[in-house]
Amino acid sequence: MEQTLSIIKPDAVAKGVIGKILDRFESNGLRIAAMKKVQLSRKDAQEFYAVHKERPFFNDLVDFMISGPVVVSVLEGENAVAKNRELMGATNPKEAEPGTIRADFAENIDANAVHGSDSLENAKKEIAFFFSQREIS
């Protein structure tokens, strides 16, 4: 069993598709082990995405991630990291396979509906960033 971190980003929350996205996870063998709705501060977003701080899109990414509330969850299941990435589709929705979350709900590479951890190692760090052990069950 693996755990991974999912963020439903401000665009998808504003569109009212939280439930539809959570259904994709639950219908595909990913159990929601923890969940909360959060308004990130600029410092939160800068810290969470620190790995991208030298990239040209960093400031736009931070601005976008604090533009409204997000829903963060811990997803648990067999191969949860890869399974979640498969369900999300490519980072750029224009390249995402039909039927994936980003193909169905995202507008562009900035407003791309969801984030998912890209490795088990990062999943552990990202889960610890948002959740204490007692919030996960």
Residues that bind ligand CMP (CB under 6 A): 52, 57, 61, 91, 109-110, 112, 115
Q: For residue 58, what are the contacts with CB-CB under 8 A and spacing of at least 6?
A: 49, 52
Q: For residue 10, what are the contacts with CB-CB under 8 A and spacing of at least 6?
A: 64, 65, 66, 67, 68, 69, 70, 111
Q: Which of 106, 115, 116, 126 is catalytic?
A: 115
How many CB atoms lie under 10 A from the CB of residue 104?
Answer: 16
- Separation between Cα atoms, residue 67 and residue 97, nearest integer Å: 27
- Separation between Cα atoms, residue 12 and residue 65, nearest integer Å: 11
Minimum distance from residue 51 beta carbon to ligand CMP (Å): 9
* Nearest residue to ligand CMP, scored by beta-carbon proximity: 115
Is 115 labeled as catalytic in the residue annotation? yes
Identify which of residues 22 and 101 has a Cβ nearer to ligand CMP in the complex.
Answer: 101
Identify which of residues 57 and 129 has a Cβ nearer to ligand CMP in the complex.
Answer: 57
Identify which of residues 129 and 133 has a Cβ nearer to ligand CMP in the complex.
Answer: 129
Identify which of residues 56 and 137 has a Cβ nearer to ligand CMP in the complex.
Answer: 56
Minimum distance from residue 129 beta carbon to ligand CMP (Å): 13
SS3 67: coil
Minimum distance from residue 134 beta carbon to ligand CMP (Å): 26
Minimum distance from residue 137 beta carbon to ligand CMP (Å): 26
Environment class of 106 (CB within 10 Å of its CB; exposed 0-12, middle 13-18, buried 19+)? buried
Which positions are catalytic? 115
